[in-house]
Amino acid sequence: MRVRPCLVALASIVSAACGSAPPPPPAAPPSVTAATPVTASAAASAVPAAASAPSAESLVPLPPLPPDVADLQRAVLASRGAVDTVSSLTTEVGARLAGSPADKLAVAWAIHAMEERGLTNVHAEPVKVPTWQRGVETAAIVSPTPHVLAVAALGWSGATPPKGVEAEVVRFDSLDALKNADAKTVTGKIAFIDVKMERTSSGKGYGDAVPARGAGPAEAKKKGALALVIRSIGTDHSRFPHTGSSKQKDAKTALPAAALSVADAELLDREIAAHSKVRLALNLGPKWLPESDSANVVGEVAGSEKPGEVVVLGAHLDSWDLGQGAIDDGAGCGIVLEAGRAIAALGHKPRRTVRVVLFAAEENSLAGGTTYAKTHAADAASIVAALEADSGTDRVLAARYTGAKDARARFAALGPLLAPLGVKVEDSAAFGGADVSPLRGLGVPVIDLEQDFSSYFDTHHTANDTFERVNPEGIQQAAAAFATTAWAVANMDGDFGRVPEAERASRF
């Protein structure tokens, strides 16, 4: 399936998307017909064998899948819907940094995509987003051995003087080392944080390394540095630098800050080890502009019995500006749109409403998720659970939950439904994605469907984040897992209660 929004009508679509009020919800569809039992042999043939991950547990006979779940999984796994969605978004929109002209194009694309996939009550909810624009970015070792380096400004970086800066580099192997450094050793120099990210299937290595990017610029500024460069927060050894946000929000005081490609950071490290004193030239020219209009785009499969109770499937529509935004987060858009399409096409509606939300401005501010939570604070109690797809295109490995303690058994009941996809339900807590974390703060239960992160950070936030990075089998399995979970939660008896007050704090 390909989405080709009419470019002639784009201006009017975008105007409506970013400024109009949401349309009234549609009437509730007819009630669900109870599913009939399915035999073990029918269940075994319902989902392709390739969807199952071999394990010791696979030797234990699984109970038959309900026919609706088997149909849903079979339809998604046999489809290229998620793959084609990413192809459409990356081809027809491409990079879509919040506040850019492509951001508005993406909103129009999303409205059309939801309508084409059979979602109803499709509308855009306005969001004000900050606007930061990348400019010139160059870096080079000046002495003792000249080398041109591959570099990318970090989000919210300040600008160097027009002719750039040149200074001695002082290296730190961690953010804490910079924090503990004597300011005299940093003042007037270019600080270099050289944190090596560990490759893990869980993504833990990213959580350990990313504070150097987020907090590093502010710490370097406190120490009197002229600028900061970091080793890219990534697991590759290419010359594609990884951008990403830094926690600088004031254009007047922001320090020039950039990421070197991993290969060039290692080159700089070797130069410093060999020669002690190394001089670096850096020129960054980003601009901070006034806020822009964007939108969260929403579409639904309305519930048949409890349309006012909602399961949220989220992903973020924006991307960084270097590549095409394929794995981050075109993949997430593909996963949740395909899940919504498959549920809408199933032939009978879920008991509760399944709501797909494509959030604005996740990368540079979380403005979309924050605005959504504020806008829907009064009806947060009606959101039964929230899930977010923002982990690339590889398979879902595990499912986790955070909600009321006495509702954990209901979550555990998802295990037999997800097992044919090779997904294991685990006891550890879910965090919720960045965009649904403000909903968690309101007590909304969250479910994490954790994908395999082993290769995700090879291309994350780089110019190499292109459609070619998509794993077709992985993304369709992920879409099947999201569809299965959303359908099961929308149809379950009872709910997940509320997240306890002590567990509502966000990690973002």
Identify the pLDDT of residue 61.
Answer: 64
Identify the pLDDT of residue 25.
Answer: 37
What token pair was written down for 243? 């951008």
- Positions of the chain with pLDDT under 50: 1-59
* DSSP secondary structure letter of residue 421: G
Round to whole Å and give the CA distance between 430 and 449: 9
The H or E element that residue 460 is part of is none
Look at strands 190-193 and 227-231 and give their pairing. Answer: parallel
Quick one: which of 255, 243, 286, 242 has its CA closest to 133?
286
Round to whole Å and give the CA distance between 92 and 494: 42
Q: What is the pLDDT of residues 177-221, one digit of tens each?
A: 999 999 999 999 999 999 999 999 999 999 999 999 999 999 999
Q: What is the pLDDT of residues 250-276, one digit of tens each?
A: 888 999 999 999 999 999 999 999 998
Identify the pLDDT of residue 423.
Answer: 98
Round to whole Å and give the CA distance between 259 and 229: 5
Per the CB < 8 A criterion, the answer to whether 333 and 358 are in contact is: yes
Identify the pLDDT of residue 62.
Answer: 64
Identify the pLDDT of residue 190.
Answer: 98
The CATH H-level superfamily of 41-131+291-503 is Zn peptidases (3.40.630.10)
pTM of the complete model: 0.88
Domain ranges for the chain, please list them: 41-131+291-503, 135-285
What token pair was written down for 308? 């006012």
Identify the pLDDT of residue 371.
Answer: 98
Identify the pLDDT of residue 251.
Answer: 83
Round to whole Å and give the CA distance between 190 and 196: 19
CATH 3.50.30.30 fits 135-285, yes or no: yes
- Report, as residue numbers or ranges, the catalytic residues: 362
